[in-house]
Amino acid sequence: MLRSVDLDVYYGAIHALKKLSIEVEQGTIVTLIGANGAGKTTTLKTISGLLRPRNGSIVYKNTELTKVAPEKIVEMGISQVPEGRRVFASMSVLENLEMGAYLRKDKKAMADDMENVFTRFPRLKERRKQMAGTLSGGEQQMLAIGRALMARPQLLLMDEPSMGLAPLLVKEIFEIIKDINEKGTTILLVEQNAHMALSIAHKAYVIETGEIVLHGEAKDLMNSEEVKSAYLGG
Amino acid sequence: MLEFTQQIVNGLSLGAIYALIALGYTMVYGIIKLINFAHGDIMMVGAFVGYFSLTLLGTNIMVAMVTAMIACAVLGVIIEKVAYRPLRNSTRIAALITAIGVSLFLEYITIFLLGPSQKVFPESAFPIKAYDLAGLSVLNKDIFVVVSAVVLMLILQYIIKWTKTGKAMRAVSLDQEAAVLMGISVDKTISITFAIGSALAAAAGVMYGVYYSTVNPLMGIIPGLKAFVAAVLGGIGIIPGAMVGGFLMGLLETMVSGYGSSLYRDAVAFGVLILILLIKPTGLFGKDTGEKV
Ligand SMILES: Nc1ncnc2c1ncn2[C@@H]1O[C@H](COP(=O)(O)OP(=O)(O)O)[C@@H](O)[C@H]1O
Ligand SMILES: [Mg+2]
């Protein structure tokens, strides 16, 4: 579905991604794990078109993405739940969800999707008139996910959805990610929480200072000595 | 008491004009963090378009105002595209200097084309009538200015609160990158913001022409400056703040000229503003610092 080949991304002189190649197969959950500063967010921003690679290509369903405008990339079916949630703080929950569906015109189906988001996250329904900035961290994460789902993405990019959440909530979020995938959305999940990510993913990549150092089936990586010592706390 | 009420009536029209100009400052600042110093000059261009619409085309005042609004909306979009967009990722000071350049350009190109002298707004376009309301003298031009300004502000509020475009404008000003991830075109949204802000300034320009009966190429400077201060007073970037700030500015100014001397009008008005900002630096409607980003 999506394949990046030899991506080189720079921030000025900083070489943030080095010949990065990953592949996401339709219908799967692929996780990209790595320490803080490894280049995970940079990878997702490059796929979404917020950053442009100096070299390399990203092919999504036979289209080269690196020249496509970011809003067109959303239109093509790729949505992102950005790092730190990035909800529109002084807009209501409802307005945030509407923004997620900004490019859609199918009013009827949008209303259905809104209902689906509210069924999935009843807390958001209760708080739909409330400003997003007044929600708790977990609720904001749910809103960020719901907002991305409102675009009806085929590929959902998620940047550290468990960041800063209590363990119980983390578990809930991962259950939700699994469920979204089972309902047909392909997911590229970026995480520092390697254990949780590997437990729900099909395939996994490990990134270190901008390079993929390991990849394979998620359950194989879970048992690999290198991953255990570096990311799973022994 | 009657005297006081009369001053308020007088101050309202001036305040409405300042408020309309202040809105453009605050909307542009909200979305690209630029103090558009050319904004007062856009108001001047609007006043001239209105003037020529009345004199050359012989339209009525409403048509003149709409014509000026459309012309300035286009002008605002062009200015943003040509002058500000190429600098979007450069330093703020570079953009600010460019804005001052655009301001001088508009002033002196107008002087070059039309000459430096002032032109008299045709009185036939708006014959002045005075009404007596329970002892208060109310001019029809006051009613015209305040009513049109309030209608425009209501339309603006409607756009921003309820339309998809307005929501996109808010989203872009809150978090540009997140807005892009929603599929919102930042360029288009910024263009729309300039169009709306400039149209409001043009309306203010025509009102100013009606109010003071003259237009000239440098007429935008002082009201532009006062509207800018009004926007800061209300809390720059905050739309209701600009409205309240504008009215407050107009009222203050008329009170000082009414009770003191028009000589001290600007000094006292600005003094009070400095005082308010010393007490509340983020402006009347501004959120206090410590706000999470
Ligand atoms: N805006 C930026 N300007 C300069 N360097 C950046 C910027 N954003 C990220 N970096 C650098 O790029 C590298 C990768 O960052 P990032 O993709 O955010 O890592 P991760 O998401 O894995 O924590 C880091 O070394 C970081 O310091
Ligand atoms: Mg990151």
The answer to whether the Cβ–Cβ distance between A99 and B179 falls below 8 Å is yes
Contacts of B104 (CB under 8 A, 6+ apart): none
Residue B27 lies in a domain: yes
The answer to whether the Cβ–Cβ distance between B177 and A82 falls below 8 Å is yes
Residue B250 lies in a domain: no
* pLDDT given for residue A226 in this prediction: 82
Quick one: fold of A2-77+153-231?
Answer: Rossmann fold (3.40.50)
* pLDDT given for residue B270 in this prediction: 79
| Cβ neighbours of B185 in A, within 8 Å | 69, 71
Q: Is the pLDDT of residue B75 over 70?
A: yes
Q: What is the pLDDT of residues A161-204, one digit of tens each?
A: 999 999 999 999 999 999 999 999 999 999 999 999 999 999 99
Q: Is the pLDDT of residue A230 over 60?
A: yes
Residue B36 lies in a domain: yes
* pLDDT given for residue A36 in this prediction: 94
* pLDDT given for residue B132 in this prediction: 87
Of the partner residues A69, A71, A99, the one whose CB lies closest to the CB of residue B171: A99
User: Would the CA dihedral through B179, B184, B189, B191 be positive or negative?
Assistant: positive
AA identity, residue B203: A
How close B182 comes to chain A (CA, Å)?
5
Confidence class for position B5, pLDDT limits 50, 70, 90: confident
Lowest-pLDDT choice from B41-55, B63-77, B195-209, B264-278? B264-278
Residue B252 lies in a domain: no
* pLDDT given for residue B137 in this prediction: 85
Residue ranges matching CATH 3.40.50.300 in chain A: 2-77+153-231
**Residue B168, Cβ density class (10 Å: 0-12 exposed, 13-18 middle, ≥19 buried):** buried
* SS3 per residue for chain A: CEEEEEEEEEECCEEEEEEEEEEECCCCEEEEECCCCCCHHHHHHHHHCCCCCCEEEEEECCEECCCCCHHHHHHCCEEEECCCCCCCCCCEHHHHHHHHCCCCCCHHHHHHHHHHHHHHCHHHHHCCCCEHHHCCHHHHHHHHHHHHHCCCCCEEEEECCCCCCCHHHHHHHHHHHHHHHHCCCEEEEEECCHHHHHHHCCEEEEEECCEEEEEEEHHHHHHCHHHHHHHCCC
Number of domains into which chain B is organized = 1
Q: What is the mean pLDDT of chain A?
A: 95
Lowest-pLDDT choice from A154-163, A175-184, B8-17, B189-198? B8-17
Q: Global pTM?
A: 0.93
Over residues B202-211, mean pLDDT? 96
- Locate the ligand 1 atom nearest the alpha carbon of residue A39 and give its number: 17
A86 touches chain B (CB under 8 A): yes
* pLDDT given for residue A232 in this prediction: 74
* Rounded distance between C-alpha atoms, residue A223 and residue A20, angstroms: 24
Q: Which of A98, A90, A82, A3 is nearest to A44 (CA)?
A: A82
Residue B286 lies in a domain: no
Q: Is the pLDDT of residue B291 over 60?
A: no
**Residue A155, Cβ density class (10 Å: 0-12 exposed, 13-18 middle, ≥19 buried):** buried
* SS3 per residue for chain B: CHHHHHHHHHHHHHHHHHHHHHHHHHHHHHHHCCCCCCHHHHHHHHHHHHHHHHHCCCCCHHHHHHHHHHHHHHHHHHHHHHHHHHHCCCCHHHHHHHHHHHHHHHHHHHHHHHCCCCEECCHHHCCCCEEEECCEEEEHHHHHHHHHHHHHHHHHHHHHHHCHHHHHHHHHHHCHHHHHHCCCCHHHHHHHHHHHHHHHHHHHHHHHHHHHCEECCCCCHHHHHHHHHHHHHHCCCCHHHHHHHHHHHHHHHHHHHHHCCCCCHHHHHHHHHHHHHHHCCCCCCCCCCCCCC
The answer to whether the Cβ–Cβ distance between A50 and B179 falls below 8 Å is no
* pLDDT given for residue B292 in this prediction: 35
* pLDDT given for residue B135 in this prediction: 83
How close A170 comes to chain B (CA, Å)?
23
Of the partner residues B168, B171, B182, the one whose CB lies closest to the CB of residue A74: B182
Residue B236 lies in a domain: no
> Which ligand is nearest to the Cα of residue A160, counting in written order?
2
Pocket lined around ligand 1, Cβ cut-off 6 Å: A 11, 14, 16, 34, 36-42
* Rounded distance between C-alpha atoms, residue B62 and residue B187, angstroms: 31
Closest residue on chain A to B164 (Cα)? A102
* Rounded distance between C-alpha atoms, residue A26 and residue B290, angstroms: 44
User: Would the CA dihedral through B27, B28, B32, B37 be positive or negative?
Assistant: negative
For residue B89, give its domain range: 2-119+131-220
Give the position of tokens 């430096």.
B116
- Locate the ligand 1 atom nearest the alpha carbon of residue A83 and give its number: 21
* Rounded distance between C-alpha atoms, residue B135 and residue A135, angstroms: 53
Q: What is the A37 CA–ligand 1 centroid distance (Å)?
A: 5
Q: Which of A28, A21, A16 is nearest to A4 (CA)?
A: A21
ipTM of the complex: 0.95
Q: What is the pLDDT of residues B112-160, one digit of tens each?
A: 999 999 999 988 888 889 998 888 888 999 999 999 999 999 999 999 9
* Rounded distance between C-alpha atoms, residue A56 and residue A199, angstroms: 30
Residue B208 lies in a domain: yes
Contacts of A67 (CB under 8 A, 6+ apart): none
AA identity, residue B80: E
Q: What is the pLDDT of residues B38-74, one digit of tens each?
A: 999 999 999 999 999 999 999 999 999 999 999 999 9
* CA–centroid distance for B155 within its chain: 15
* Rounded distance between C-alpha atoms, residue A20 and residue A41, angstroms: 13
- Which percentage of chain B shows pLDDT scores above 90? 76
Q: Is the pLDDT of residue B290 over 50?
A: no
B180 touches chain A (CB under 8 A): yes
- Please report the number of interchain residue pairs, chain A to chain B, with beta-carbon separation below 8 angstroms: 63
Q: Is the pLDDT of residue B293 over 60?
A: no
Better-scored residue on pLDDT, B137 or B187 = B187
Over residues B236-250, mean pLDDT? 93
> What token pair was written down for A112?
């259905």
* Rounded distance between C-alpha atoms, residue B192 and residue B76, angstroms: 9
Residue B98 lies in a domain: yes
The answer to whether the Cβ–Cβ distance between B183 and A102 falls below 8 Å is yes
Phi first, then psi: what are they for A84, rounded to 5°?
75, 15
* pLDDT given for residue A234 in this prediction: 56
Q: What is the mean pLDDT of chain B?
A: 92
| Cβ neighbours of B292 in A, within 8 Å | 89, 133
Closest residue on chain A to B174 (Cα)? A88
* pLDDT given for residue B288 in this prediction: 62
Over residues B255-278, mean pLDDT? 81
